[in-house]
Structure 1
Amino acid sequence: MSQPDSRLATAVLALVAQRPDSTQPASAHPAVAARKLGQQAAAKAAAAAGALALPPGPLGWLTILPEMMAVWRIQAQLVADIAALYGRSAELGQAQMLYCLFRHTAAQGLRDLIVRVGERVLVRPATTAVLKQIATSIGLKLSERALGKSVARWMPLVGAAGVSAYAWYDTQQVGKAALELFEREMVVEG
């Protein structure tokens, strides 16, 4: 694994190790509230990513990891808030956080962690070694994305608009994954 892949894997593990607290109360209509929160988080992530993507060239390269981390923190908060809307904050662990944040990015690496079985979701226990392996897989995928972002740094305004649009889309996908996960009965394997 290369140094950027390793740094991204470490960042992913650090992100999911600490579940953000949510101030959202359980909702009578959690899906509606979750969609609204998803829109707000997507706008916030797009603004953060776009602003951090503005510096051009080599200076812009230094903003790639901070930009990704800023967006991930917004997304992690969204996942925690959606879990809270469904009254399921206690069920939000590292496996669920990884799944929601990166399902659309590295689905192959997450296929053994959470499996949909009919109307239920089966969460398999994740040892530290398994989490590291999954984070490494995610890190590889994210380093490919970071390479694309480094190219965008040479076209500051156009690149920032593209990065912003992708952050919006990415955050929408995270919200959709969290909504789908917490709408279902969750069974954690012993």
Structure 2
Amino acid sequence: MSDKRFAKRRTGFRASQRIAETILDYVGQTPATTEDWNRKPAARARAIARRAAGQAAVTAGSLTLPPGPLGWLTLLPELRALWKLQTQMVADIAGCHGKTAVLGREEMLYCLFRHTDPQAVRDLVSQIGNRFVVQRAARPEIQSVVLKIGLHISQRLIGKGLSRWIPVFGALGASAYAYYDTARVAQTAIDFFSGIIDEQAEEAPHIDH
């Protein structure tokens, strides 16, 4: 393997680790919500989704990404801002469906990244008809899932040269993507919390040998 290819792979792995650590920060603690059960949760959830998608577009449009082959590394602050907004949105959608009590890290991971990396989250939540079955996972399993998501995101950014096209398209392109991404997260959350949710298994206890 050439030094250039090795350096690229090493940079990508380090980036995926940083992204994974950031994801764990957000899914480890469910944000509080002021949303209570709503008699018309579908309408309220759509309103929450529209508001959050609009906020995401404004936030992304106000941020800039420096050009250059390593410019994508500065995308992490933007990802943090987007995920902070999206986790709050998911919590609010859960609240208006009366499902705040069942919103944990598995559910949050599923809602945030189902559209991004369905293979990574498939073992956490499965769907049978309109019933969602949640598998409680131990922390090492969660870390493994999150690392896969982080690797997927970093590879996508490197492979598509996101750091090169965002400066060209400017705030409009960034805003449109943030709006689209947040709308997809919202739809996953609405589908999830409007369905029937079962907890298949509890987290495996830690055993000292």
Normalised to the residue count of structure 2, the TM-score between the two structures is 0.84
Q: Is the 8 A contact 1:149 1:163 kept in 2?
A: no
Contact kept, 8 Å, 1:82 with 1:178, in 2: the verdict is yes
Local SS of the residue matching 2:145: helix
Report the residue type matching 1:22 in the other structure: T
RMSD, aligned α-carbons: 1.7
Structure 2 counterparts to residues 25-44 of structure 1, below 5 A: 25-44=36-55
Partner of 1:150: 163
Distance 2:185 2:92 in 1: 12
Q: Which amino acid letter does the alignment assign opposite residue 51 of structure 2?
A: Q
Against the structure 1 CA distance between its residues 107 and 81, is the aligned structure 2 distance closer, same or farther, given a 3 Å change threshold? same
How far off is 1:153 after superposition? 4.3
Does the 8 A contact of 1:83 with 1:92 survive in 2?
A: yes
C-alpha separation between the residues in 1 aligned to 2:28 and 2:17?
16
Q: Which moved more, 1:138-147 or 1:13-22?
A: 138-147
Equivalent position of 2:62 in the other structure: 51
Is the partner of 1:189 in helix, strand or coil? strand
Partner of 1:120 in structure 2?
131
Aligned to 2:3: none
Match of 2:24 among 7, 13, 17: 13
Summarize deviations over 1:124-159 as a string: whole Å, max 9, x none.
11111111111011001211343343123442xx13
What letter matches 2:120 in structure 1? Answer: G
Which protein shows a greater Rg? 2
Q: Which runs of 5+ in 1 are unaligned?
A: none
Q: 1:76 aligns with which of 87, 94, 99?
A: 87
